[in-house]
Structure 1
Amino acid sequence: MPVSRRNLAAALAVCVVLPLSACGSGDDGGGSSDASGKIEGDITFQTWNLRANFKDYFEGLIADFEKKYPGTNVKWVDQPAEGYADKISADAAGGTLPDVVNVSPDLVAPLAKAGLAADLDKDAAQYKKEYLDGAWASHRIPGMGGTYAFPWYLNTGPLFYNKSLFKEAGLDADQPPTTYDELFANALTIAEKTDGKVATLANVPTVEDFGRYGVPLMNDEGTGFAFNDAKGVELLTKYKELYDAKALDPQALTATPESSGKKFLTEAVAMNPGSALDLGNFKKQAPNLYKNIGITDQITSTGHVNMYVMGVMVNSQTKRKPAAVAFAHYVTDAEHQMSFAKKVAIFPSTAGSLDDPYFTKEDGTDETRVRIAAAKSLKNAVNYTPVLFSEQMKTELRNEVAKALQGKESPKEALDNAVEACDRLLQQQG
């Protein structure tokens, strides 16, 4: 099962291996479908590699829940990060899936299809209004009705750019690109002025980049992919032009978020996406870059930036559904999301939380500036990566994009092949 989207970290870099995964007790199988009964009984809450950094936080949260609901007992189990997706898959197959499961959208999809994820539009509809619309929608599965996890924490990030590299190319460092046309034009200018020594971008386009560009990613029924349309071909053609001019880093075909971040750190690349956490790294590791850092918004043709999201799922087979739903809601309610957001650089998915002074009040620091900008953009952000887009599909797309950039296939042929491969994998998901 895919794991990368749980790496909310990628956008978050969540310093503490933060991808959180919560699960409940293994005493399920034939549980009640009614979530409106008395909140009582034993449930298990399983997290992913969190005890070392957040032991006090979660123990306090559990104690408060048990105090609020006498007769409940929450057993907290923490699993290592390695192999977590396989653990969920094995538990699902063996009938030992815990009661409350923290999942990313791609992990909830197969569980929902197998009938193991409670539909919160039925079991917890009264809570829907407490969350941002885009966050609540992030755990819907194409082709299925319902929502299959409470939204938990979110993240997004700005684009960082190197003002000195922009200036050296004769560009206005105080006017960074705000549209794709401006971005591509600036990238070609920087490559030309530096004889191809400085690229502007370090990563090939991913499915979320096609989404941000305004490309339809799937058909309305959720039965097939659609990013090989004219707009998708247009974007890949632009990237081919950048690649040929060395405006896209030649090593982009094999780049990772870490390697592209290092390129930006060493001033070999002019722009890179990031988060507030990166600013501290710049200050320590590259003071000259930090002195010249520019911060601007993600570029999008849709008016909506990309949202990374985590969720908390309730096992539909739990014997303690009222307690499981209540606890999943408790973990993700506004009060607890807000307290957690102040411990690590993430953002609450609850409506109104992003209006808190913590996310709106400037204090003169770049870190706060980034946090405020991210919070503002998250209010209407969307999770572009389709819930059904697996790791294998990502690899197929990446391989075909590489062929197009290298001139082995036309952009149209590459995207047609990628869609065909992804559709085949989608059918295999069942």
Structure 2
Amino acid sequence: MTSTDTARPETWRTPFVIVVCGCLIGLLSFGPRSVVGMFLMPISNENGWTRDVLSMTIAIQNLMWGIGQPFAGAIADRFGTLRVFWAGAIMYALGLACMGLPLPPLAMHVISGTLVGLGLAGVSFNLVLSCFAKLLPESRRPSAMGAGTAASSLGQFLFAPLTPLLIDLFGWKVALFVFACVPALIFPLAFALATNPAANVGAGTGAEKSVAATLKEAFSHPSYVYLVIGFFTCGFQLAFITTHYPPYLADLKMPAWVAGFALAFIGLFNIVGSLTSGWLSGRMLKRWLLVYIYFARGAVGLMLIVLPPSPAVALLFAALMGLLWLSTVPPTSGLVALMFGTRYMAMLYGFVFFSHQVGGFLGVWLGGLMYERTGSYDIMWWLSVLFCIGSGLINIPIKEQPAKPAALVPAE
């Protein structure tokens, strides 16, 4: 019996059901998170804060998401995913709700920053992709990972125009409360992605190694380290744009609908980009796909810098960036599975994602700080271009082959 058979003995859990439920979880978890930038100005104005205060809260959310991801992955690898999804949904909902309370800045940073970040670690598409790697046949994994990533973007596409509408009709507090209720829908969907810890044994090259031995092997493998470092840029750019692009456009005196449609365009075009990336990941060298994506991101960022600002340019930037938005995820997760197998997939990809979220923390926090210090986001746009070039270069020497097995030790 294969590990896949052991993992999903129920007849109702077909590959189609697993992919659909996983995609819905990705949509529901990524949707509210992708529009937090639209609450930056209303919450700041309500509390009399400068722009950098709530930016710090959102930055901490990104950082805690990154810190929590390896632990959530390790717990899911060891004990199964169902309870991780449930715990994450509860924390995510509470953290979003707390953003609507009249908390002082420090309490907002600690409470909302921690709860939303750790909650996302337990329900985001990262854990969904690791479930796909364990529950689906190898031939279906690249396209499923592309679909899971695309579904997350569909969440952004749906929530982006909905957010300003809800804020205009009912106020930002009601809109935030509505979004805080969304994670509850993840509870029933998680049953389809439940993994049996016993099913992990025998899956991939790291099947019989302990957690410590696996981590030692991973971080002594240059290609894995390059992957970790390169993913920093993805988080830096995405988090900066998600949080600060709406106020950036407002500073340029553009109508509010431009920001809503820009974020929606990113989500819509990322569906195409993610599906294409998942398809290409199974047909070309993944490292070169990453190189092309990072260089293309730098070119799109440069376009925004040099062209005169207008709604057309703002939407064109959003569409082009959307094609590249999460397209890094299928080749990145695919490389982790290729190097180390699926036994500790959630944990090892969690460490790669930690780098992503360190970048996200700096992208959001520095964005607010640089704006308050200089009165513009110019420095941040140039930094994102330079980081894209660096990440493209660092992915070139990655070797696409299984890591050399280390000496096996008894599993923990």
Same fold (TM over 0.5): no
Look at both structures and tell me which one has the larger radius of gyration over its CA atoms: 1
Q: Which has the higher strand share?
A: 1
State the TM-score, normalizing by the size of structure 1.
0.26
Q: Which has the higher helix share?
A: 2
